[in-house]
A and B are shown apart, each in its own frame.
Chain A
């Protein structure tokens, strides 16, 4: 890992401005009490990303702890359903803790130590970010508190147990929709009160500046590796890159290294839930409108008076009514395209990958897999599609058992 691998600063002219804006998106809409902490995090991160020792330590942890680089796997039997297109997976499911989330938490846990703070808090939906944060906190001796919606605690009970075993305190949040959105509100409340010794280890590329930039940079390794690996494997760049989008961290992680490659289409797949017409979905970019949520201007699921509308997805990890501001910017600039995949389509792809290739994907990632099948049929047999398999499906077995009557 090099400084360019970490940040890719200015390589594609797509860093946010000094106010944390990607075009009109991003910024900071938070209580004044948090501004000094956000300034402190931003300043320390600016130093860290140019510090060879920090980059070296992050790189060492990625290689020796997280298990990087992760491999690419071509899935021809799965791709038979994609009209003959080649589908190649970036295997983030093979990282320690089983999802791309580990990259960001290792980076931010190192940053927490640089900040001289002793406690981390985090929010989690599916539990993957919570497990990853609890893991990094255990590794580095940090106190750890995880906020999780009460509904999510129930549907991801295994991950709650994992977090507890790793030494974290899990706080079920019973406000509002009792999902990720409300866990984020509660984590912010904790942070305002404890900011002197606590770092909010934000889990996705949403939230106030500098989180969208920091989380992206720590997730960027996914695309940096994948770009090099697919060139080695196929001798050329892929025709399309596909990833699931909830908050958007795994998608930006793999997209970012390809933004400058004009011939590579970038496709994000959001949770269509029970379908657009049902109103029960998490189609933030495809059906939302521009507003402010959780400290950032971005696309939001909201009503005509700016009240957040509750999202729905069979995947707790995608069940979020906001999205990272960089995706909002990629959408409006036309560089990336976003589509919906329903619960049913995602679960079909989930089962198909398991049966044809022996890989049980996370339900989040299954949205990207379902999307890749559709893309393949549209793009034709000569197309090569790189899919970010952002996590493994062990955590989702309870949902799968219920869904498939296993």
Chain B
């Protein structure tokens, strides 16, 4: 199993940022998600975030909402998410689950941590779980040997950045802008400042997500962050493709462009 620590150490040794790709389980289909994520890894993603589809994704923009909705219509359940993690982890990429809090809360905190670790998952990203509410989840994750990743935002105060960073293992997720997920023409100008404000509070890698969708943007972010997170742009490639074969080709193309970006 590849851990986040291994990935970031290797990327650092190569003097580059890590490339992190996001895809919801069950999209475009249950098996199709494993195929797309595998293509993302083959094209150069070091880390894959498998999204746990949730009915009320309040931090997501239209592209991810669309993909998640399709996944839920496909009947995706937590067992499918874990099976997807298992399939993707076999590629050698460090595989995380990104999820809103309620599905873990309902499934059972200890049970989810245990089952995720058993599936080969290395951690979670929980965008609506604050440090104040995260105690039981951090304990369960530590017991299961998986990492916890939480988010800092441009609006975060110094005290909040410290509290969030202190709750993280693996890496700190810096939301590049004030807004929801989705590729944009420009990565938020606040991103670099946020990474710089986060550094003094942690020795963990700091990765930037929200709004990144091109090789040029990946290169720009790689200039100041330890990892570049891309979600909606990959999903857009799948949504726009006429069939699965062209979707895989298109995802590989974007993955290669981004992988070159983080090495630029």
Is A30 in contact with B130, judged by CB distance below 8 angstroms?
Answer: yes
List A residues 89-119 near B (Cβ within 8 Å). none
A291: interface (CB < 8 Å): yes
Interface residue? B105 (CB, 8 A): yes
The answer to whether B102 touches A176 (Cβ under 8 A) is: no
Q: Name the A residues within 8 Å of B77 (CB-CB).
A: 305
Given contacts A19-B132, A192-B179, A304-B106, contact A35 B58 (CB under 8 A): no
Verify B133–A29 contact, CB threshold 8 A.
yes
Interface size on B, residues (CB 8 A): 40
Asked if A37 meets B155 with Cβ closer than 8 Å, knowing A192-B178, A291-B105, the reply is yes
Q: How many Å lie between the Cα of A306 and that of B178 in the bound state?
A: 27
- Which residues of A300-350 have CB atoms within 8 Å of chain B's CB atoms? 300, 302, 304-308
Q: In the complex, A100 Cα to B125 Cα: how many Å? A: 40
SS class, residues of chain B in contact with chain A: loop
CB-CB contacts of B44-71 with A at 8 A, as 1s and 0s? Answer: 0000000000111111110001000100
Partner of A293, one of B102, B150, B157, B160: B102
Contact (A176, B128) CB under 8 Å given A192-B178, A193-B180, A306-B106: no
Inter-chain contact B56/A308, CB cutoff 8 Å: yes
Task: Provide the A214-249 mask, 1 if CB < 8 A to any CB of B, else 0.
Answer: 000000000000000000000000000000000000
Which residues of A are found within 8 Å of B133, using beta-carbon distances? Answer: 27-29
Chain A residue with the shortest CB-CB distance to B106: A306
For B92-124 the 0/1 string (1 means CB < 8 A from A) is 000000000111111100000000000000000
The yes or no answer to B142 lying at the interface (CB within 8 A) is no
B127 at the interface (CB under 8 A from A): yes
The answer to whether B54 touches A192, judged by C-beta atoms less than 8 angstroms apart, is no
Q: How far is the CA of A27 from the CA of B57 in the complex (A)?
A: 18
When distances are taken between beta carbons in the complex, the residues of chain A under 8 Å from B157 are: 36
CA distance A185 to B68 in the complex (A): 14
A36 neighbours in B (Cβ, 8 Å): 155-157, 160
- The digit string for B68-101, where 1 denotes a CB below 8 A from any CB of A, is 0100100001100000000000000000000001
Task: For the complex formed, measure the closest distance between the CB of B126 and the CB atoms of chain A, giving whole angstroms.
Answer: 9
Size of the A side of the interface (Cβ < 8 Å), in residues, is 37
B57–A185 touching, CB < 8 Å: yes
Interfacial chain B residues near A292, Cβ < 8 Å: 101-102, 105, 128
Give the distance in Å from the alpha carbon of A294 to the alpha carbon of B157 in the complex: 23
Q: Are B153 and A307 in contact (CB-based, < 8 A)?
A: no
Contacts of B78 in A (CB 8 A): 305
**Is there an interface contact between B132 and A195, defined as CB atoms closer than 8 Å?**
no
A195-217: CB near B (< 8 Å → 1, else 0) gives 11000000000000000000000
A29 touches B130 (CB 8 A): yes
Looking at chain A's contact residues, the main secondary structure is: mixed
B58 proximity list for chain A (CB < 8 A): 30-31, 184-185, 188-189, 294
- Indicate the member of B58, B61, B164, B180 with the most A CB atoms within 10 Å: B58
B152 on the A face (CB < 8 A): yes
Q: Which residues of A contact B219 (CB under 8 A)?
A: none
B154: Cβ under 8 A from any A Cβ: yes
CB <8 Å contact, B155 and A306: no
B101 engages A29 (CB within 8 Å): yes
Q: How far is the CA of A185 from the CA of B179 in the complex (A)?
A: 13
- A32 contacts B132, CB within 8 Å? no
B129 within 8 A of A: yes
Which residues from A are CB-within-8-Å of B164? 32
Which chain A residue has the least Cβ–Cβ distance from B81? A305
Known: A189-B61, A305-B78, A305-B107. A195 touches B155 (CB 8 A): yes
Is B151 in contact with A31, judged by CB distance below 8 angstroms? Answer: yes
Tell whether A31 pairs with B153 under 8 Å between CB atoms, given A192-B178, A306-B107. yes
A267 at the interface (CB under 8 A from B): no
**B175 lies within 8 A of chain A by Cβ:** yes
The residues of B that contact A73 with a CB separation of less than 8 Å are: none
Is there contact, CB below 8 Å, between A181 and B56? yes
Residues of B within 8 A of A308 (CB): 55-56
Name the distance in Å between B204's Cβ and chain A's nearest Cβ: 16
CB contacts (< 8 Å) of B69 on chain A: these are 175-176
Does B153 lie within 8 Å of A33, measured CB to CB? yes
Bound complex: CA A181 to CA B57 (Å): 11
Which A-chain residue is minimally distant from B54 (CB atoms)? A307
Contacts of B60 in A (CB 8 A): 189
B157, closest chain A residue (CB)? A36
Max count, chain B CB within 10 A of own CB: residue among A19, A31, A181: A31
Q: Which residues of B contact A304 (CB under 8 A)?
A: 106
CA distance A369 to B77 in the complex (A): 41
Residue A275, interface by CB 8 Å: no
Question: Measured between C-beta atoms, what is the minimum distance from B146 to chain A in Å?
Answer: 19
- In the bound complex, CA of A305 to CA of B71 (Å): 14
A76 within 8 A of B: no
Q: Check A293/B103 contact, CB under 8 A, given A31-B127, A31-B151, A33-B153.
A: no
- Residue numbers in A under 8 Å from B175 (CB-CB): 31-33
Closest chain B residue to A30, Cβ basis: B128
Known pairs A36-B155, A294-B58 / 11 extra A-B pairs, C-beta < 8 Å: A27-B132, A29-B101, A29-B128, A32-B151, A33-B156, A35-B130, A188-B59, A195-B178, A289-B106, A305-B78, A307-B55
Residues of A within 8 A of B (CB): 19, 27-37, 175-176, 181, 184-185, 188-189, 192-196, 289, 291-295, 300, 302, 304-308
Q: Which 7 A-B pairs have the closest CB atoms?
A: A306-B106, A33-B153, A306-B103, A193-B179, A306-B102, A292-B102, A308-B55
Could you list some 11 contacts between A and B, CB below 8 A?
A: A19-B132, A28-B130, A29-B130, A36-B155, A36-B157, A189-B58, A192-B179, A292-B102, A292-B105, A305-B77, A306-B107
